[in-house]
């Protein structure tokens, strides 16, 4: 391809580039990596007073019911209000490659896709409906089921959306396997998360027994994992290493965590910091006790780049080609997790060997500079290729969709049977109960097929 240095790539972002979170770090390094070879321009829409809030935010119970029956999710409705200027849209129309950073960018840009002449690429950081499902979990059974119903709608929206892209970038093989159920796997490329090998330089081992956790604390898998660690793992560690201290970095801490940190001197809640490297240097062990979620864990990669021993659950290290007891210590139960943390605290030789192997792994496979070279090559191929129409563009596996529809309907009916049982508590009238039952079932069928 001639003059590929001048090839233009547009990147659609929800927010300006920064290194404030794992997701934003991926955006930052991918954009800058592409800019080393191509002419890259980023576009961040205006929202005015309609900026969307986190889809895990609290909603009134009545509002949740209204949203379910209307087929809308407030976070996505907010994204759809994104505003691009006509000048920006004209620039984008003739850009050969447009990369949408995360599914949120798709919802912002969906109404303009028909105007675009170039190839549309999605960089998806997670399987979003699973993340949504996790963030809407609640001990309140009614809210729990509302979250599940909204997740069903989100899943169906995502499955329709992915067929509109010329190519999809995913963080791990797990995401590729999932999306391959619905679209041609040749249209999906794994671009793993990484760490800046030079920026996160090797750190000397410290003497204090500091255990470090980093992450967005309002993100349900992080909050859930921390609670699991504090309730079931940390006490076991303290029984063997009394001066061990858990240091937590991250913004938007839930109230339970603030209360726990205030009452427990072995837990230090630092909050958000702009540069995490100093805190990683001061840590003797770094942990990732995650129990749910998808994507690749950027924080683990940053720990490893600085040569720190890492203890993680298996799912916490998902998407990273690590070997247990070589570059990381894996543990899926409280007893083994605490044993591994204690070993990393007290066994200097083992910890240093783990750290060296981890840093070598980052240099060989997960340095951002090498990862973005792979993305550059992919775009060279996509730019030169003439896309062949996908004969199964709209339905790859009809039987699979029928199965999804049936399982979704079953969940809907299960939800409203819970509602019926609630009504039954307040009335003994069989006629009223039957009337409510029929009404609810009709409403849910209408809502299921509306706006999907």
Identify the pLDDT of residue 127. 81
- When pLDDT is averaged across residues 250-279 and rounded to a whole number, the result is 92
Domain co-membership, 152 together with 188: yes
Query: Could you please report the per-residue DSSP string of 234-281?
Result: HHHHHHH-TT-EEEEE-SS--HHHHHHHHH-TTEEEEE--S--HHHHH
**Domains held by the chain: number:** 3
Phi-psi category of 319—alpha, beta or left, where left has phi over 0 and alpha has psi -120 to 50?
A: left
Q: pLDDT at residue 58 above 60?
A: no
Q: Which two tokens stand for residue 446?
A: 């209408």
pTM exceeds 0.85 for this model: no
Q: Do 157 and 127 contact (CB within 8 A), yes or no?
A: no
Cα 111 to the chain's mean position, in Å? 24
Domain co-membership, 62 together with 110: yes
Q: pLDDT at residue 395 above 60?
A: no
- When pLDDT is averaged across residues 45-56 and rounded to a whole number, the result is 54
Tell me the range of 1-5, 61-65, 241-245 where mean pLDDT is highest: 241-245
> Which CATH number do you get for residue 353?
3.40.50.2000
**Mean pLDDT estimate for the chain:** 81
Domain co-membership, 178 together with 241: no
421 band by pLDDT with thresholds 50, 70 and 90:
low
Domain co-membership, 273 together with 344: yes
Domain co-membership, 320 together with 380: no
Identify the pLDDT of residue 174. 85
Q: Residue 202 domain-assigned? A: no
Domain co-membership, 154 together with 243: no
216-225 pLDDT, tens per residue?
Answer: 888 888 888 9
Q: pLDDT at residue 205 above 90?
A: no
Domain co-membership, 391 together with 403: no
Of all helices (H) and strands (E), which one includes residue 331? none
Domain co-membership, 129 together with 13: yes
Structure-model confidence comparison of residues 213 and 394, the more confident one: 213
Domain span at residue 348 reads 210-366
Q: List the beta bridge partners of residue 352.
A: none
Domain co-membership, 357 together with 383: no
365-387 pLDDT, tens per residue?
Answer: 999 999 999 999 999 988 887 65
Q: Residue 293 domain-assigned? A: yes
Q: Residue 446 domain-assigned? A: yes
Q: Residue 205 domain-assigned? A: no
Q: pLDDT at residue 120 above 90?
A: yes
């Amino acid at each position: 391809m001639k003059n590929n240095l001048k090839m233009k790539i547009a990147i659609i972002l929800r927010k300006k580039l920064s290194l404030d979170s794992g997701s934003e770090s991926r955006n930052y390094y991918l954009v800058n990596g592409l800019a080393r070879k191509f002419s890259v321009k980023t576009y961040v829409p205006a929202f005015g007073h309609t900026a969307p809030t986190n889809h895990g935010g609290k909603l009134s119970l009545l509002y949740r019911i209204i949203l379910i029956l209307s087929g809308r999710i407030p976070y996505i409705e907010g994204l759809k209000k994104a505003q691009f200027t006509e000048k920006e849209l004209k620039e984008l129309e003739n850009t050969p490659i447009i990369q949408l950073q995360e599914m949120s960018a798709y919802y912002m840009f969906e109404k303009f896709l028909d105007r675009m002449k170039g190839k549309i690429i999605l960089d998806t950081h997670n399987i979003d409906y699973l993340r949504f499902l996790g963030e809407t979990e609640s001990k309140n059974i009614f809210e729990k089921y509302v979250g599940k119903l909204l997740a069903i709608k989100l899943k169906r929206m995502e499955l329709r959306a992915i067929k509109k892209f010329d190519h999809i970038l995913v963080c791990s093989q797990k995401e590729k396997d999932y999306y391959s159920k619905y679209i041609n796997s040749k249209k999906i490329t794994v671009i793993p998360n990484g760490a800046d090998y030079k920026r996160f330089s090797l750190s000397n081992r410290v003497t204090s027994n500091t255990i470090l956790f980093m992450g967005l604390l309002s993100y349900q898998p992080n909050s859930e994992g921390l609670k699991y660690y504090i309730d079931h793992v940390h006490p076991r560690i303290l029984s063997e290493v009394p001066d061990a201290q858990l240091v937590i970095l991250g913004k938007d801490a839930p109230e339970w965590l603030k209360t726990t940190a205030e009452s427990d001197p072995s837990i230090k809640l630092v909050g958000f910091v702009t540069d995490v490297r100093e805190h990683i240097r001061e840590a003797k062990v770094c942990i990732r006790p995650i129990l749910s979620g998808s994507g690749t864990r950027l924080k683990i990669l940053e720990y490893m780049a600085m040569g720190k021993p890492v203890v993680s659950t298996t799912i916490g290290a998902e998407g990273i080609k690590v070997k247990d007891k070589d570059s990381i210590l894996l543990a899926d139960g409280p007893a083994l997790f605490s044993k591994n943390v204690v070993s990393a605290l007290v066994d200097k030789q083992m910890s240093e060997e783990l750290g060296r192997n981890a840093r070598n792994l980052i240099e060989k496979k997960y340095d951002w500079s090498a990862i973005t070279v792979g993305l550059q090559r992919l775009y060279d191929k996509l730019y030169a290729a003439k896309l062949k129409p996908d004969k199964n563009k709209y339905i790859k596996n009809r039987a699979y969709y029928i199965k999804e529809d049936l399982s979704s309907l079953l969940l809907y009916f299960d939800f409203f049977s819970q509602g019926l049982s609630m009504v039954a508590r307040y009335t003994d009238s069989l006629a009223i109960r039957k009337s409510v039952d029929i009404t609810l079932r009709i409403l849910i069928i209408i809502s299921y097929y509306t706006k999907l």
